[in-house]
Amino acid sequence: VKPMSDAEASAALLPKVTKRLEEGMASLTHVAGWSADAWPKWAAHATAFADAWMKAFLQGDDMMRKALVIEFHNKFGSLYERFWRTHEVLPLTDFSLETAKKAPSCATVADMPTSPVSTCVSRIEKEPKASGKPRRRKR
Protein backbone atom coordinates (compact mmCIF):
# COMPACT_ATOMS: atom_id res chain seq x y z
CA VAL A 1 0.00 0.00 0.00
CA LYS A 2 1.45 3.33 -1.10
CA PRO A 3 1.32 6.04 1.61
CA MET A 4 -0.85 9.06 0.77
CA SER A 5 0.71 12.43 0.11
CA ASP A 6 -0.40 15.40 2.21
CA ALA A 7 -2.54 16.62 -0.71
CA GLU A 8 -4.18 13.19 -1.10
CA ALA A 9 -4.82 12.95 2.65
CA SER A 10 -6.32 16.44 2.66
CA ALA A 11 -8.55 15.65 -0.31
CA ALA A 12 -9.75 12.45 1.40
CA LEU A 13 -10.32 14.11 4.79
CA LEU A 14 -12.12 17.32 3.84
CA PRO A 15 -15.37 15.65 2.66
CA LYS A 16 -15.58 13.80 5.99
CA VAL A 17 -14.94 17.00 7.94
CA THR A 18 -17.53 18.84 5.84
CA LYS A 19 -20.15 16.16 6.52
CA ARG A 20 -19.53 16.26 10.28
CA LEU A 21 -19.69 20.05 10.35
CA GLU A 22 -22.92 20.09 8.34
CA GLU A 23 -24.53 17.51 10.60
CA GLY A 24 -23.35 19.39 13.68
CA MET A 25 -24.59 22.77 12.49
CA ALA A 26 -27.96 21.32 11.45
CA SER A 27 -28.41 19.92 14.97
CA LEU A 28 -27.87 23.28 16.73
CA THR A 29 -31.59 24.00 16.90
CA HIS A 30 -31.20 25.19 20.51
CA VAL A 31 -28.87 28.06 19.49
CA ALA A 32 -30.32 31.54 19.06
CA GLY A 33 -30.42 32.47 15.40
CA TRP A 34 -30.59 28.90 14.14
CA SER A 35 -32.82 28.47 11.13
CA ALA A 36 -33.05 26.29 8.06
CA ASP A 37 -31.42 29.18 6.17
CA ALA A 38 -28.71 29.94 8.75
CA TRP A 39 -27.13 26.58 9.50
CA PRO A 40 -25.87 25.90 5.94
CA LYS A 41 -24.05 29.26 6.05
CA TRP A 42 -22.57 28.36 9.45
CA ALA A 43 -21.43 25.00 8.09
CA ALA A 44 -19.87 26.60 5.00
CA HIS A 45 -17.94 29.06 7.19
CA ALA A 46 -16.77 26.29 9.53
CA THR A 47 -15.69 24.17 6.56
CA ALA A 48 -13.74 27.11 5.12
CA PHE A 49 -12.01 27.49 8.49
CA ALA A 50 -11.11 23.78 8.60
CA ASP A 51 -9.82 23.94 5.04
CA ALA A 52 -7.69 27.03 5.73
CA TRP A 53 -6.24 25.47 8.90
CA MET A 54 -5.47 22.21 7.08
CA LYS A 55 -3.78 24.04 4.19
CA ALA A 56 -1.64 26.10 6.59
CA PHE A 57 -0.69 22.89 8.43
CA LEU A 58 0.23 21.00 5.26
CA GLN A 59 2.22 23.90 3.83
CA GLY A 60 4.02 24.62 7.11
CA ASP A 61 7.34 23.33 8.32
CA ASP A 62 7.62 21.32 11.55
CA MET A 63 7.71 24.44 13.75
CA MET A 64 4.66 25.96 12.03
CA ARG A 65 2.74 22.70 12.36
CA LYS A 66 3.51 22.57 16.10
CA ALA A 67 2.45 26.21 16.46
CA LEU A 68 -0.83 25.58 14.61
CA VAL A 69 -1.68 22.69 16.95
CA ILE A 70 -0.81 24.78 20.01
CA GLU A 71 -2.83 27.74 18.72
CA PHE A 72 -5.82 25.48 17.99
CA HIS A 73 -5.85 24.07 21.51
CA ASN A 74 -4.91 27.15 23.51
CA LYS A 75 -5.95 30.19 21.50
CA PHE A 76 -8.91 28.87 19.53
CA GLY A 77 -11.04 31.95 20.15
CA SER A 78 -8.32 34.23 18.78
CA LEU A 79 -7.64 31.86 15.88
CA TYR A 80 -11.30 31.67 14.88
CA GLU A 81 -11.85 35.41 15.34
CA ARG A 82 -8.87 36.09 13.06
CA PHE A 83 -10.36 33.77 10.45
CA TRP A 84 -13.76 35.48 10.82
CA ARG A 85 -12.15 38.85 10.04
CA THR A 86 -9.57 37.88 7.40
CA HIS A 87 -10.48 34.39 6.13
CA GLU A 88 -6.91 33.40 7.05
CA VAL A 89 -5.58 31.43 10.03
CA LEU A 90 -2.15 33.06 9.83
CA PRO A 91 -0.33 34.86 11.37
CA LEU A 92 -0.33 32.93 14.64
CA THR A 93 0.10 34.48 18.08
CA ASP A 94 3.55 34.97 19.57
CA PHE A 95 2.55 32.57 22.38
CA SER A 96 2.02 29.68 19.97
CA LEU A 97 5.15 30.41 17.94
CA GLU A 98 7.36 30.69 21.04
CA THR A 99 5.89 27.55 22.60
CA ALA A 100 6.42 25.63 19.35
CA LYS A 101 10.08 26.67 19.24
CA LYS A 102 10.60 25.09 22.68
CA ALA A 103 8.96 21.76 21.79
CA PRO A 104 11.35 19.27 20.18
CA SER A 105 8.67 17.61 18.03
CA CYS A 106 4.94 17.46 17.37
CA ALA A 107 4.78 14.17 19.26
CA THR A 108 6.47 15.82 22.24
CA VAL A 109 3.88 18.60 22.24
CA ALA A 110 1.10 16.04 22.40
CA ASP A 111 2.75 13.73 24.96
CA MET A 112 4.05 16.18 27.57
CA PRO A 113 1.98 15.91 30.78
CA THR A 114 2.41 19.66 31.32
CA SER A 115 1.76 20.46 27.68
CA PRO A 116 -0.05 23.67 26.87
CA VAL A 117 -2.13 21.59 24.48
CA SER A 118 -5.36 21.11 26.41
CA THR A 119 -6.25 17.66 25.06
CA CYS A 120 -2.95 16.10 26.04
CA VAL A 121 -2.87 13.53 28.80
CA SER A 122 0.05 11.91 30.56
CA ARG A 123 0.51 8.14 30.82
CA ILE A 124 -0.94 8.21 34.33
CA GLU A 125 -3.99 10.08 33.06
CA LYS A 126 -4.56 7.46 30.36
CA GLU A 127 -5.00 4.67 32.93
CA PRO A 128 -8.67 3.73 33.13
CA LYS A 129 -10.54 4.35 36.35
CA ALA A 130 -13.05 1.91 37.80
CA SER A 131 -15.76 2.99 35.35
CA GLY A 132 -13.52 2.09 32.43
CA LYS A 133 -13.27 5.68 31.24
CA PRO A 134 -9.80 7.29 31.04
CA ARG A 135 -8.85 9.60 33.86
CA ARG A 136 -8.39 13.27 33.06
CA ARG A 137 -6.31 15.47 35.26
CA LYS A 138 -8.05 18.60 36.48
CA ARG A 139 -6.26 21.70 35.29
**Which of 5-14, 51-60, 64-73, 94-103 has the lowest average pLDDT?**
5-14
Mean pLDDT of 46-71: 94
What span, in angstroms and rounded, lies between the C-alpha atoms of 115 and 120? Answer: 7
Quote the pLDDT of residue 107.
54
pLDDT-derived band at 9, boundaries 50, 70, 90: confident
- Write the CA distances from 87 to 39, 49, 53, 91, integer angstroms: 19, 7, 10, 11
Q: What is the pTM (predicted TM-score) of this model?
A: 0.70
Quote the pLDDT of residue 115.
46
- Write the CA distances from 130 to 119, 122, 134, integer angstroms: 21, 18, 9
Average pLDDT across the chain, whole number: 81
**What are the φ and ψ backbone dihedral angles of 120, each rounded to 5 degrees?**
-75, 145
Cross-strand pairs, 126: none
Cα 121 to the center of its chain, rounded Å: 16
Sign of the alpha-carbon torsion through 35, 36, 37, 41: positive
Quote the pLDDT of residue 127.
41
Quote the pLDDT of residue 60.
92
pLDDT tens for 84-137 read: 999 999 999 999 999 999 987 665 555 544 444 434 333 333 344 455 555 555
* 3-state SS assignment for residue 124: helix
